[in-house]
């Protein structure tokens, strides 16, 4: 029997910071403090104009490759999970494969499953390794949602930051640690609770789709920027996601006592704490990583995982319950038993400055 394991994980952040002071000037001190109390987010990293999520993913991948001294020809699968691709065509994973200098025999494709994307990426890499169609997978997750949020949308700009991660997946013998369980799901009947209405084939871009409109709460956006039905998403997370986790534990005949850590998508602290409370997760099994980086969408959970390794929160031979949730509306649950010889902590966060040559990279097209 064979499974897969996460050998290492790195994460990268843009150097540009969106501070509380800036937001208080924009929205007022009272409104920002009220949101901060709910969200637990005090600062966000956001890309500079012209900087892409793929630039962050590339930096994270290079850090991981250099740290492990990886033979590039040994990587035969590269996935990039993002909601902010470089182009509509081709897949950004193809662009990254070329920039990284990977083999022409490396399978590449993009994944778009919003904040749930790390567990979905994990499922794909794990399945392909177990099936024998991949031997070494580089799983990249990255979003630059700040480019899709209106700067005057008080409900979203105060929450979201940009980030990317790179994780290496390899085969592992069953019983030595690795991925023990994965479950993913979607309720597509509620797809419209979190979406960008225009810019795709259903509603192509036009003069009308870039007209800014204020909603009943005073948040401003156009049809090519993110819309979120906050109450519906909150209800989905607190009830549906909690039920999914409880159902998984019941099905597997496990309890929270069977896990050393429980790591959740860092949507905001209120949501995360409500799930923790409903599951009875004690403080020593909780971990947060949002205060200085914000909700990093699909890169949130793997960034949390990388930071937990870096701080020694996750230890070799421990068992971790992972859960992500978001647009779609979708969710994912995974159980990871870390190998006894695991050392997945890639040194340091990669701070990625904006380089003018990045912007000019495709100017010849």
Q: Which of 265, 268, 296, 323 is catalytic?
A: 265
- Output the CA torsion 248→252→256→257 (10° steps): 180
Q: Which residues contact 144 (CB under 8 A, 6 or more apart)?
A: 14, 46, 47, 51, 52, 53, 56, 84, 162
SS3 17: strand
Q: Which of 268, 295, 296, 323 is catalytic?
A: 295
Hunting for tokens 């971790």 — which residue is that? 320
Establish whether 265 is a catalytic residue. yes
Per-residue CA distances from 342 to 68, 112, 259 (Å): 13, 29, 17
Establish whether 16 is a catalytic residue. no
Establish whether 115 is a catalytic residue. yes
165 within 8 A of 12, measured Cβ to Cβ = yes
SS3 328: coil
Dump the DSSP string for 222-235.
Answer: -TTS-EE-HHHHHH
Task: Give yes or no for a cis peptide into 52 (omega within 30° of 0).
Answer: no
Q: Which of 115, 219, 296, 323 is catalytic?
A: 115
123 within 8 A of 129, measured Cβ to Cβ = no
Which residues participate in catalysis according to the annotation?
115, 265, 295
């Amino acid at each position: 029997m064979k499974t897969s394991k996460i050998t290492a994980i790195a994460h990268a952040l843009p150097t540009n910071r969106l501070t509380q002071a800036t937001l208080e000037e924009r929205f007022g001190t009272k409104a920002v403090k009220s949101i901060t109390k709910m969200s637990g987010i005090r600062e966000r990293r956001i890309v500079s104009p012209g900087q892409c999520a793929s630039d962050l993913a590339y930096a994270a991948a290079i850090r991981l490759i250099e740290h492990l001294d990886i033979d590039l020809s040994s990587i035969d699968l590269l996935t990039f999970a993002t909601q902010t691709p470089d182009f509509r065509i081709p897949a950004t994973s193809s662009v990254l494969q070329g920039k990284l200098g990977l083999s022409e025999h490396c399978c590449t494709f993009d994944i778009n499953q919003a904040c749930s994307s790390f567990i979905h990426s994990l499922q794909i890499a794990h399945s392909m390794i177990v099936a024998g169609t991949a031997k070494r997978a580089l799983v990249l997750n990255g979003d630059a949602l700040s480019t899709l949020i209106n700067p005057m949308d008080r409900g979203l700009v105060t929450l979201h930051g940009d980030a990317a991660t790179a994780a290496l997946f390899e085969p592992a013998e069953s019983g030595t640690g690795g991925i023990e369980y994965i479950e993913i799901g979607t309720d597509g009947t509620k797809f419209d609770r979190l979406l960008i209405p225009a810019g795709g084939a259903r509603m192509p871009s036009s003069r009308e789709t870039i007209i800014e409109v204020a909603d009943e709460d005073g948040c401003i956006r156009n049809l090519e920027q993110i819309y979120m039905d906050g109450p519906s998403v909150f209800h989905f997370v607190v009830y549906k996601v909690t039920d999914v986790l409880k159902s998984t534990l019941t099905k597997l005949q496990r309890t929270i006592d069977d896990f050393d850590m429980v790591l959740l998508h860092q949507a905001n602290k209120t949501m995360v704490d409500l799930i923790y409370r409903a599951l009875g997760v004690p403080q020593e099994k909780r971990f947060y990583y949002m205060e200085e980086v914000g909700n990093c969408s699909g890169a949130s959970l793997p960034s949390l995982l990388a930071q937990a390794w870096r701080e020694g929160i996750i230890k070799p031979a421990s068992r971790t319950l992972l859960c992500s949730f978001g647009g779609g509306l979708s969710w994912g649950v995974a159980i990871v038993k870390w190998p006894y010889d695991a050392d997945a902590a890639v040194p340091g966060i990669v701070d990625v400055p904006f380089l003018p040559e990045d912007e000019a990279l495709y100017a010849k097209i």
